[in-house]
Homo-oligomer: A and B are copies of this chain.
Amino acid sequence: MDNTNSEEHNQSLNYLFKPKTVAIYEAKSKIYYFIEGFIRQGFDLDNLFLISSSEDEISGIKCFKSFDEIPEKSIDLLILSVRRELLIPSLEDIFSEIHVKFIHIFTAGTGEADEVGMKIESELKQLLDSKQNTRAIGPNCMGIYSPKGKVAYYPSFPIESGNIGLIFQSGDLHSRFIKFSNNKYNLHFSKGISIGNCVDIQIQEILDYFNNDEETDLICVYFEGFSPLHPKAGINLFNVLKTMNKPVLFMRGGKTERGKIAVISHTGSIVTQNKIWDAIYKQTMIIEVPPSLESLINYTYLFYKYINRFKKLKQETNYPKGKKVLVILWSGGFGILATDILTNLGLEMPYFEGESLRKLEKIYLARIGSLKNPIDLPWISNTEEYYLVCKTAIDEKDIDLVVVETDAWNDIENERFKSYYKNLIKIKNYTESNNKVFILILHEYPGRNREIFYEKLINDDFIVFPSVKIAAKAFLKLYEYGTKLNKKINS
């Protein structure tokens, strides 16, 4: 089954993400979400076969009593949901009835649970190894999300597709990533997989597939560890990671000793040593993400927006080459905190004095507020001078990142607001037309005004973060990728 990197293999994985025929065994109303996921995505329901010994119909779809009743003799994707004791006998029965290209083994309580479960996984691997043309993901996983393949394991997943690929060793985090990031930042996905305990298909196979997948431009991984049944999985993953030509945001769970123990009861995986990972981060293009779903979502958001801006212009992504920040304030005190945070994180904040300050003062002499970076001009944010000061400041110090702090207005129909908002758009367009990064900060607190403003900003294609710290950390990941890319090109 070692067909990593082969074109055939890549082609075959298409059936996993874009199956023409799907069977669910045993279908039960308890797992209605699988069925409603297919319905909502618009999957051809004539090719969705529910096999249930106990139920006649689920979510309006008729159930078959057994595999011999269904009209197909070959199924692209089988979702297998039986008690662990029934895994092997069920599969043997099914294999005697029909051919299956891919199996999503939903069943949990195997390798992560106890020795009995581990033994079942071992038998499962043997059985799968003996079936040349059948591959499986799982057990202990939620399966596939593929809007273009019209497959989703939850009805709440978006129908619209994008260009992010997901590989997660936790169905929970996978689902939440999709839900949160779509709700909050309007992110969309090409393909996602909750891959579980990896008894057959390994993470690196999916990575390699995504690397060659035209629909995927950015990849996020949540990794816990390797299956004890695959002693070469580590080196295989490393080899694939070295070949990746798309940004891979890589989050690892079980980094602490106590976390490693927790992993065992979650996916039963073997956790590798941190120092090995440090070397992998150094020797490959992948970007390390700390153990926090929020961080992974935030970083992905910035990469996604940034990559797609260039894609829209049919240009190659031009990653930031420097770390010079200009901060434009809403008002006073935040500037001090922002300065402390940004410089603490290693960003540079050019200070405007002497000739460069005079250039700005020629446009507007700020006696109340400041032109020195942070720029703090509370009284003129709705004027042409405001835009000119910001534009000149960006040019003057060859800024790489512009961070603008804003706040919700009571009335966005107000003329003053409209002029201010036009300035925001002008500063954004100017920054981005110069291949720099523009980020807006809107602090997060409940309230209808904030919600309305936030929606407007997201619709108008602004990149909006809830704090300067998050914005800075996300930017630094973009910068890190740019630096790695540069090194690779020059080596």
Q: Report A's interface with B, CB cutoff 8 A.
A: 108-109, 113-114, 168-174, 176, 179-180, 183-184, 222, 224, 253-259, 261-263, 265-266, 291-294, 330-337, 339-341, 343-344, 349, 351, 367-368, 370, 372, 374, 376, 443-447, 451, 454, 467, 469
Q: Are B253 and A184 in contact (CB under 8 A)?
A: no
Q: Are B368 and A108 in contact (CB under 8 A)?
A: yes
Q: Are A341 and B266 in contact (CB under 8 A)?
A: no
18 residue pairs A–B, Cβ–Cβ below 8 Å = A108-B368, A113-B367, A113-B368, A170-B334, A183-B445, A184-B445, A253-B333, A253-B337, A256-B339, A256-B343, A256-B344, A257-B343, A261-B339, A262-B336, A265-B372, A266-B376, A291-B344, A292-B469
**Could you tell me the distance in whole angstroms from the C-beta of A168 to the nearest C-beta in chain B?**
7
Q: Are B254 and A172 in contact (CB under 8 A)?
A: no
Q: Are A336 and B224 in contact (CB under 8 A)?
A: yes
List 6 tightest A-B contacts by C-beta distance, closest first. Answer: A170-B333, A253-B336, A173-B333, A259-B340, A291-B340, A172-B333
Q: Are A367 and B109 in contact (CB under 8 A)?
A: yes
**Could you tell me the distance in whole angstroms from the C-beta of A377 to the nearest C-beta in chain B?**
12
**Chain B residues near A334 (CB, 8 Å)?**
170, 172-173, 176, 293
- Given A183-B447, A367-B113, CB of A337 within 8 Å of CB of B292: yes
**Could you tell me the distance in whole angstroms from the C-beta of A254 to the nearest C-beta in chain B?**
6
Q: Are A341 and B292 in contact (CB under 8 A)?
A: yes
Interchain CA distance A263-B376 in the complex, whole Å: 12
Interchain CA distance A332-B169 in the complex, whole Å: 10
**Chain B residues near A168 (CB, 8 Å)?**
333
Q: Are B333 and A222 in contact (CB under 8 A)?
A: yes
Q: Are A266 and B183 in contact (CB under 8 A)?
A: no
Name 20 extra pairs, CB < 8 A, besides A171-B333, A253-B336. A170-B336, A172-B331, A172-B333, A173-B332, A176-B334, A179-B445, A180-B443, A183-B446, A183-B447, A254-B336, A254-B339, A255-B344, A256-B340, A256-B344, A257-B343, A258-B339, A258-B340, A258-B349, A259-B343, A262-B374
**Chain B residues near A292 (CB, 8 Å)?**
337, 341, 467, 469
Interchain CA distance A21-B445 in the complex, whole Å: 35
**Chain B residues near A339 (CB, 8 Å)?**
254, 256, 258-259, 261-262
Interchain CA distance A256-B294 in the complex, whole Å: 27
Give the nearest-CB partner of A337 in chain B: B291
Give the nearest-CB partner of A407 in chain B: B176
Give the nearest-CB partner of A180 in chain B: B445
**Chain B residues near A368 (CB, 8 Å)?**
108-109, 113
**Chain B residues near A113 (CB, 8 Å)?**
367-368
Q: Are A370 and B179 in contact (CB under 8 A)?
A: no
**Chain B residues near A454 (CB, 8 Å)?**
446
Interchain CA distance A256-B339 in the complex, whole Å: 8
Considering residues A114, A255, A351, which has the most beta carbons from chain B within 10 angstroms of its beta carbon? A255
Give the nearest-CB partner of A293 in chain B: B337
**Chain B residues near A108 (CB, 8 Å)?**
368
Partner of A254, one of B340, B374, B376, B445: B340
Interchain CA distance A71-B262 in the complex, whole Å: 74
